[in-house]
């Protein structure tokens, strides 16, 4: 997946959240050993590529190797992050489909809202509908007509409980069509079978399959967003293709075991006997600001994290400063 310089700068925003760990020293300087970044999906997918893109700048900044570990299947990768020590040496990378949607669809033995700590928003991209080149439809309207003419015969690749599955089910209900779902453990093996002609089409995370589209190995029908996607500006939006209001996107981020940040704050206070002024964390699980510039080339999103002081500062002081900022605005 080719990424423009601007996109790489956006991805670096995720790395920018890690100085909080580096600056909050304890009895032993952090980090003193390699850091593991867990990808809960097979190698070759969008999250795996994103993790490997981040690993080198993180290593250069933190001074320790960042090891990417793929643990697909049965939520084992997510569970490893949940059960890891809250010391900043085990991080999880994923998106709303792995850390939000999947726990909501399938029962899990852990409450991720309570047992994971969000670190950084990294990037986002829409889903799109793609097919093998042998499918006779040349646009989305023709694809829907082909599905209606062949009810229950077409096959759609999906990651069970993931965004592709939601997108496929949404497509069925929105177009009154019927097709078979073929489950996969990740987006990479599903895309491989699509290119090989083993399945007919799929809703896919656009960043996962954009290179196959550029190489002419798959056909893209529509981007599931209000505006065209900049890396593939020739692909129409769902509104333009005849399926208005069909929007699905995927954001990605970094997670750590719960209490990672609070523990660092307490260590800093007990060691230095002063306010934990350098410990920062995201405002919330979606605590980023975005600005859009519309145009024929798509959209540009800039990420700015709202910094909040840790609990060492009295809450009244936080409220007073927030009130003063609102008055100045």
CATH code of the domain containing 219? 3.40.190.10
pLDDT, one tens digit per residue, over 240-282 is 999 999 998 888 888 899 888 665 545 434 433 333 333 344 3
Pairing assessment for the beta strands 201-205 and 35-39 based on DSSP bridges: unpaired
Q: Verify that 214 and 270 share a domain, yes or no.
A: no
- Residue-number span of the structural domain to which 216 is assigned: 125-247
Domain final residue pick, 247, 274, 292: 247
Q: Verify that 255 and 108 share a domain, yes or no.
A: yes
Above pLDDT 70, what percent of the chain?
A: 70
User: Which pLDDT does position 196 carry in this prediction?
Assistant: 96
Q: Verify that 143 and 96 share a domain, yes or no.
A: no
Please measure the distance between the N-terminal and C-terminal CA atoms of the chain and give it in whole angstroms: 41
The mean pLDDT of 50-54, rounded to a whole number, is 90
Q: Verify that 233 and 140 share a domain, yes or no.
A: yes
The CATH number for 64's domain is 3.40.190.150
Q: Enter the DSSP assignment of 236.
A: P
Bin 6: left if φ > 0, else alpha if -120 < ψ < 50, else beta: alpha
Rounded to the nearest 10°, the torsion over CA 151, 153, 155, 160 is 70
Q: Verify that 129 and 242 share a domain, yes or no.
A: yes
Query: Residue 230 phi/psi, 5° resolution?
Result: -60, -40
The answer to whether residue 177 scores a pLDDT higher than 80 is yes
Q: Verify that 82 and 185 share a domain, yes or no.
A: no
Q: Verify that 131 and 113 share a domain, yes or no.
A: no
Domain final residue pick, 247, 278, 294: 247
Question: Exposed (0-12), middle (13-18) or buried (19+): which is 38, by Cβ within 10 Å?
Answer: buried
- The domain tally of the chain equals 2
Average pLDDT score, the chain: 76
Domain final residue pick, 212, 247, 282: 247
* Higher pLDDT among residues 212 and 95, named by residue: 212
325 falls in which pLDDT band (50, 70, 90)? low
Q: Verify that 17 and 161 share a domain, yes or no.
A: no
Q: Verify that 77 and 59 share a domain, yes or no.
A: yes
């Amino acid at each position: 997946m080719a990424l423009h310089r601007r996109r790489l700068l956006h991805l670096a925003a995720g790395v920018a959240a890690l100085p909080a760990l580096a600056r909050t020293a304890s009895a032993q300087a952090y980090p003193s050993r390699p850091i593991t970044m867990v990808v809960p999906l097979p190698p070759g997918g969008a999250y795996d590529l994103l993790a490997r893109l981040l690993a080198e700048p993180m290593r250069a900044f933190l001074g320790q190797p960042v090891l990417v570990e793929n643990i697909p299947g049965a939520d084992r990768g997510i569970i490893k992050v949940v059960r890891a020590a809250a010391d900043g040496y085990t991080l999880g990378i994923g998106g709303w489909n792995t850390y939000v949607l999947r726990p909501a669809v399938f029962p899990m033995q852990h409450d991720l809202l309570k047992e994971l700590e969000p670190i950084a928003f990294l990037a986002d991209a829409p889903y799109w509908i793609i097919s093998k080149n042998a499918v006779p439809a040349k646009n989305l309207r023709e694809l829907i007509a082909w599905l209606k003419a062949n009810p229950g015969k077409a096959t759609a690749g999906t990651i069970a409980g993931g965004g592709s599955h939601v997108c496929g089910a949404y497509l069925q209900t929105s177009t009154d069509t019927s097709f078979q779902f073929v489950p996969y453990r990740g987006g990479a093996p599903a895309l491989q079978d699509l290119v090989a002609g083993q399945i007919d089409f799929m809703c896919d995370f656009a960043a996962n399959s954009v290179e196959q589209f550029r190489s002419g190995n798959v056909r893209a029908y529509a981007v599931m967003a209000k505006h065209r996607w900049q890396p593939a500006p020739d692909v129409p939006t769902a509104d333009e293709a005849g399926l208005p209001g069909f929007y699905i996107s995927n954001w990605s981020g970094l997670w750590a075991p719960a209490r990672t940040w609070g523990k660092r704050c307490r260590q800093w206070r007990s060691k230095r006997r002063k306010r934990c002024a350098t410990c920062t964390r995201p405002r919330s699980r979606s605590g980023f600001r975005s600005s859009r510039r519309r145009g024929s080339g798509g959209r540009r999103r800039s990420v700015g994290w709202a910094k909040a002081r840790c609990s060492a500062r009295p809450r009244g002081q936080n409220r007073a400063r927030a009130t003063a900022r609102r008055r100045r605005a």
